[in-house]
Each structure stands twice: as C-alpha cells, then as structure tokens.
Chains A and B, each alone.
Chain A
Amino acid sequence: MKNFQKNLYHQLLYIRRVQEEISNRYHPADNMKCPMHFCMGQEIGPAALSSFLRPGDAILSHHRSHGYFLANKGSLNEMIAEFHGKETGTNGGLAGSQELSCTKTHFYSGTILSGAFGMSLGDAFSKVYKNENNITISVIGDGGMEEGICSETLNMAILYKLPILFICENNKYSTHTKLNERTEYQNVSDRIKGYKIESHLFNSNDPEKLYMLLKNLTSKIRKTKKPIFLEIMTYRFNGHVGPEGDDHYNYRSKAERDLWSKKDPLKVYRKKLDKKFGIKFKNFENKILNDINKKIDRSFAFALKSSFAKVYKKYNYQNTYHKSVKKFFNNDISFNKDQEDHRPMPY
C-alpha cells in the first residue's frame, strides 16, 4: 500500500467513525446539547483534501463541517469538548457544532453558511497582501450557493485574483427541498463559467481520483493565485440535522438512498484496497481502527472531565487597541479659553 492510499483511507475512516460515535453517544446521554449536522456519506471531499493543506492555509466551511475540521488537523479533543459546552472546547464551549471554529488551525464555519463563503475573499486577500504562498479553501453546499452573496463573491474572487479553492458539495438537498424544486440547473459548476472562473465537476465515488484532482488544483492555485471552483456530487446518509434520521418524512426515495449507499466511497474504497492488498490491508485497517476508537474514547473522556464554560459576556469585545495607541487624548473642554477654536463652523 502506498502512503497516500493509507492516508486517504485513514481520513475516510476517521471522519466516519467520529461521526458514528457522536451519533451513538448523543442520546440518551444528552451531554451534547447542540444541533449537529453530520456528514456521513460526504467524507470524500475532506479526506482527499487533507493531504494538500499547509499550516498557513485556511478553511471556511458550511455548517456540515466536522469532516473538514478533522481533515484540517483540528483537535478531536477540543471538538468533542466544544459539543459538550466545555471551556476546553475549540470555541470555549460558546458555539457548538454549528459554528465550529479553530483560530490556531485557521478553521471557521457557520450555519448562516453563505457568509463564510464570502469571508474567504478577505482571508485570501490577506494572503496576497502579505505575499504568502498559502491558499483559502471555501466549502459550501448546493443550497448555500443559491444566496446572492455567492454571486458577488465569485465575481470578486476572480476580479481581485484571489487564491481560493471553492468546493461545493452538491448533495442535492437544501434541508429537505430537492435541487430541482429550487433551480433549473442541476449542476452548480455549470453556471460558474460565466464568472470566468475555472470550474470542475467531480461525479465519482473514487477517492483516489478526487485526490489526484485536488493535488493538481491546489498546486495550480498556489502558482496562479487564481480561484478555482470544484463541485463534488455527493450524498448525505444521515438526516439533515441530529442523529435521529429524517427519512420517515419521505423527502427522498428509498431507491435513491439505496443507490447512493451502494456507491458509498468508504465502502467502495475499502473493497478495492482489500482486493488489491488482502491481508496487508486488513492488518492496516485493524490497526488504524483500533487507534481511532481509542482516540475517540479519549476525546469523550476529556470532554466529560472538562469544566463547563464559565464566562461569556467579556468575549463580545476585545477592548484592546493596536500597539500604536499608547495614550488617549482628553479634549474635555478647557472652559473659557480656546472655545472659539473648538467650535465647528455652522453648516
């Protein structure tokens, strides 16, 4: 097995297992009291991307963010602690799953998600401004792409030549409303060309293919400093939100679900590696599965023993200034003298 195959499979399995365990432990314990948007079925994007992220890169993600958070080397301990509302959480317990962020690894997300798409402009701009060779990854879904700000963002990304990889995970549903009920186009990438942005459609369940594509795209962006748009056709196996599942609402057909379940990239890739490497793969899988499970257990133990967040009000403001501000000017009037000079002329 090659290293990149090991990494790829490890990432796919890691992200899936973390989600499964969060789902399993969510109820009835109810220690994680926040809404969660799981990404089971959609791991292929973050797993394939993870090898090409450098420490100075940033990810601005939609709310279905767990996969990208972990792919960006976000701390699992801090993520699970965040879901528990603990002060050791990556957001200090103040945001939860929906706005999972990590200042030190440059990972940001939010649930009014098209705003994060727009913020990638400023993030990438700062990299150009400071002459860095880092890139910005902006992750969104087919639903988020319908907001007007996305159109503005794409125009500005190419106008200002900003090094952004836009990834649109098209899972065909905005909550429970299907794409064909919302737009005439069925592929977001179709309409990107009009902005003069290079765009790609990835419609496959082969993680290695996506790995190769992302290898090319990320290095091209680092070189050209121009944005690229990538649409990944994918499917979410879990419900829109929470571990409970929502297929009893019948918003998507069983035939459709079965089809995608059969195409599950993790399953398909596992089969491929098993067939190719046999016992070598099995040994590898056992080892990483064991490591992952232990890591997950440790993260839950860490979260449970951490203290709840205690303060929050003071964080609304930094209440600090740039180093050039050493003292403040006091111009409470010196009464009786200089009054004329302090009086603006009438308009």
Chain B
Amino acid sequence: MKKKRLLTFAESINEAQIQAMKLDKNVFIFGLGVEKTGHVFKTTLGIKKKFSSKRIFESPNSEMALTTMAAGAANSHLRPILIHHRVDFMAYTFDQLVNWISLWSFKSSGKSSMPLVIRAIIGRGWGQGPQHAKTLHSMFSYLPGLTTVMPSSPSEAKGLLLSSIMSNDPVIFLEYRALFNTKEHVPEEPYFIELGDVRHRLLGDDITVVAMGPAVLTAIKAQDICKNKITFDLFDLRVMSNYKLNKILKSLKKTKKLLCVEDGWGSGSTSSELISKIVESGVELSEPPVKITWPSSHVPMSNPLEKDFYFDERNIVKAAEKLAKIKI
C-alpha cells in the first residue's frame, strides 16, 4: 500500500493558498513580510515564484488601511488574503471589522458582499508574553456577519482555508502558532470543509468533549492517557459562531456530560456561549458542565509562570476523572 502523504500545518496552508490562487485568478495575498525571510512560518513560501508580484506583495505597517484595502477589493469581487504575523496587530483594525466588514452584506440587504480572508497567527510561543500570545477568537465571534475559523490540524487547515477563501463572507482565519509543525495525512486535491459543520473527531461514550484549534490535539492526548477507562466523544468546533449544534446535542443525549476545552480566556468565551446554547436547548446533563480555559489574566513571559498559565492534557484528564467519577 502506498504510504500516505504527510504535510505540516504550515505546508497545508501553503498548499491551500496555491490551489485557491489556481482556482480563481482574483485571489491575492498581501501583508507585511509575506514575501520576506520567514515567509509567515513558511506558509507563503514559493508563492511569488509560482505566480507573480501581482498576486503576492509586501505592505507598509498600516493595519487599518490594509484591512480597508482588503475590504474595498473584496467589495469589487476580488478575494484578498491579508496576513498578520500576530493577531495582536489586528487590534488596530477594530473599526474596520466592527463598522465596515462585518456589516457590509447586512447594510446592503445582501446586495454587496465581502469575500475576504484575514489570516492571523495566534497563541503560545517561546515566552511571547502579553502582546504576542493572545487568541482573541471569542472577541471576533461576537460580531454578526463575521466568520471566525480556528483549525486544529493540517488536514483541517487546508480544507477550512480553501473554504474560507471561497466563502462569499468575510473570514478571520486564526492559526495557533504551536500547531505549525504538526504533521498529518493531507489529501492532495483541493477540498472544502463546510464552515459551520462541527467535526466529530473521536468516538466515545462517557464525556462529550468540545474543543477548537490546538485544544483538539490536547484533548486527543488526554484521551490517550485515559485509554479505555474514560472515552471522549470529541468534537472540533472549527468555527467560533454560527456552527450547527446537532451533532453535539446528539452526543450529549448519550453522555449527559460536557467538557469544553479552549485556548483563550474563559469569560465571554466561545465555550461559555456553547454552554449557554446547550442549556437553552433543554438537553439534560447529569453533571454541571466543565470549562477548561486560560486564567483571566494576560499571558506572563517568565517560563515557569508561562507553564503554569497554559493548561495541558493532564488538566483535561483531571476534569474528566471528576466528571466520569472514575480514577485513572
């Protein structure tokens, strides 16, 4: 049997962009450093050579105007991909997201659209500290009209990015830094993942675990530790709002236990909203739902504190033991 092709998360994103650019000549990439040294964690490597400087080009440090440039281009039927090396720089662009991009389709009563993608690198790195390690996905998901995507693995990243680029709605595509070197089998042909379709990731009977982005991998590691003693029915949310709840509700009818795992602050989080939706649905739980998130604090740089700040698979195992009332 032929060995299946493995790609890293970064290679998958690279391939998705190249394939999107082949599928539609209106797709282009811009941002600061997209064609320089690191090539955005190698995700834009080789694109200029394959296409031209018309399709991928450098920009000044002007996040606000860059975002409106993407908006204006998208309104004129191009499909821009704007890249920020850190999501923290997107704070400059609050006006563009809140007052323009997210409400563009709405205020035209659907006559205008904004098919753009803003890629931003989020999360944990080597002592990145309070201005370089945020995730902010829940903040973006508060806005109607915007779709916030956080992929969890290479194959997911490829399908979700292709769909994000080809979606006629604006998408914020958040890439967790620590995932860039993870490897997985990724099909070669272009494929699309429906934005809003929650992925059933692991089959289990004891606890419904909902995660997104890097937390999916952490949950899988926790399942490895639990072996067969506690099994997770694991779901990857993929999209932070406007997802279909049916698969999760069906699972909860079986397990009656909910554990949410999220790399981000807990208050007003995607998990909080998910729990609220589940409670509103009336599905009965046997235990109160549990949420594992970052503490309500900015991210410390100092290494021991940083280790303390982030949760890992052991925190998930502990929570699972409590929920399932089983000791591993």
Contacts and interface: CB of A to CB of B under 8 A. Distances in A.
B306 interface: no
A29 interface: no
A152 B107 contact: no
A346 to B, nearest CB: 7
Contact of B68 (A121, A312, A325): A121
Contact of B77 (A116, A126, A341): A126
Interface residues of A, number: 64
A122 B169 contact: no
Contacts of A115: 68, 95-96, 99-100
Given A149-B64, A320-B168, A347-B182, A122 B199 contact: no
Interface string A305-347: 0000100101111111110110111011101001001111111
Interface stretch (A12-20, A88-96, A236-244): A88-96
B76 interface: yes
B193 to A, nearest CB: 6
Interface in B138-156: 144-145, 147, 152-156
Contact of B106 (A94, A319, A345): A94
Interface string B94-129: 011001100101111111110100000000000000
A321 B23 contact: no
Contacts of B112: 101, 103, 108
A106 to B, nearest CB: 8
Given A115-B96, A333-B201, A322 B166 contact: yes
B182 A345 contact: yes
Given A101-B112, A331-B155, A335-B203, A122 B70 contact: yes
Contacts of B144: 316
Residue in B72, B96, B156, B203 whose Cβ sees the most chain A Cβ within 10 Å: B72
A212 interface: no
Interface stretch (B183-191, B262-270, B284-292): B183-191
B192 A325 contact: yes
Given A92-B111, A322-B23, A325-B192, A119 B184 contact: no
B113 A318 contact: yes
Interface string A98-110: 0101011000101
Interface stretch (B33-41, B54-62, B315-323): B54-62
B135 to A, nearest CB: 16
Residue in A95, A155, A328 whose Cβ sees the most chain B Cβ within 10 Å: A328
B100 A119 contact: yes
Nearest to A125: B73
Nearest to B78: A126
Contacts of A312: 106, 109
Interface in A38-59: 58
A186 to B, nearest CB: 25
B200 to A, nearest CB: 4
Contacts of B74: 122
B192 A123 contact: no
Given A93-B109, A94-B106, A341-B184, A319 B166 contact: no
B193 A329 contact: yes
Contacts of A346: 182, 217, 221
Interface in B67-87: 67-80
A152 B182 contact: no
Contact of B73 (A93, A103, A126): A126
A332 to B, nearest CB: 4
B238 to A, nearest CB: 11
Contacts of B220: 343
Nearest to B65: A152
A152 to B, nearest CB: 3
B24 A322 contact: yes
A99 B106 CA distance: 12
B167 interface: yes
A66 interface: no
Nearest to B178: A347
B75 A123 contact: yes
A60 interface: yes
B138 to A, nearest CB: 18
A159 B110 CA distance: 33
Contacts of B200: 332-333
Contacts of B168: 318-322
Given A94-B109, A152-B65, A335-B203, A122 B80 contact: yes
Contact of A155 (B62, B67, B103, B181): B62
A123 B96 contact: no
B99 A129 contact: no
Contacts of B197: 328
Interface of A: 58, 60, 87, 91-95, 99, 101, 103-104, 108, 110, 112, 115-127, 129, 148-149, 152-153, 155-156, 159, 309, 312, 314-322, 324-325, 327-329, 331-333, 335, 338, 341-347
- Considering the complex of A and B, which 3 residue pairs feature the smallest CB-CB distances, nearest first? A122-B72, A92-B109, A118-B68
12 contacts: A92-B108, A92-B110, A93-B109, A115-B68, A119-B72, A121-B68, A121-B69, A122-B78, A125-B72, A332-B199, A341-B4, A343-B184
Given A125-B78, A156-B62, 17 more contacts: A60-B72, A104-B111, A112-B99, A115-B100, A117-B68, A119-B72, A119-B75, A122-B68, A122-B74, A319-B168, A320-B168, A325-B166, A328-B192, A331-B156, A331-B193, A341-B4, A342-B155
